[in-house]
Amino acid sequence: MDLAPPVRELGLSAALRSLANRMSEQHGLVVDLKIDAAADSPREDISILLIQSARELLFNIVKHAKTDRACVKLKQRGAGGLVLTVSDKGAGFDPADASNPASTNGTGFGLPSIRERLRLLGGRIKIKSAPGAGSRFDLSFPPGMPDFGEAGNPVPPDSSGRP
């Protein structure tokens, strides 16, 4: 699960449920899941990035937020758009610190890495936090994003682009 999230086998929604269960069992973090029934991504690269990002953000909550509760929401936005929100009502932080790659201390996936990987796939992250006021991370991909085949060329929406 840590190195290769089971997105291909389970789908994005089920992989998020599995992640929430693991966080509860291994770290005592209760994760309230709110998943739009229609929300899923046909693109494995986006699904994997969302799972890895959710895992990193939930670990950050365990390590820094001083709370044992988090909320993960997955919503469909238009045709093919997705928004993943990870939030808590814990200690919060100054979002300006999240822009500093040194803030990860060389460990973990890190917020700068999440931001860069999202950008490379056409997504973005919005961070809302303040000391003592909890944190909210919105990771979004716009509707109508093209899929890219193995050769890097756009694939028609009705085709998987895989042999």
Answer yes or no: is pLDDT of 4 > 70.
no
Q: Are strands 154-155 and 135-141 parallel, antiparallel or unpaired?
A: unpaired
Answer yes or no: is pLDDT of 52 > 70.
yes
Residue 21, classed as helix, strand or coil, is helix
Q: How far apart are CA 144 and CA 147, in angstroms?
A: 9
Q: How far apart are CA 131 and CA 5, in angstroms?
A: 32
150-162, pLDDT tens digit by residue? 444 444 444 444 4
If phi over 0 gives left and psi between -120 and 50 gives alpha, with beta otherwise, what is residue 132?
left
pTM above 0.85, yes or no: no
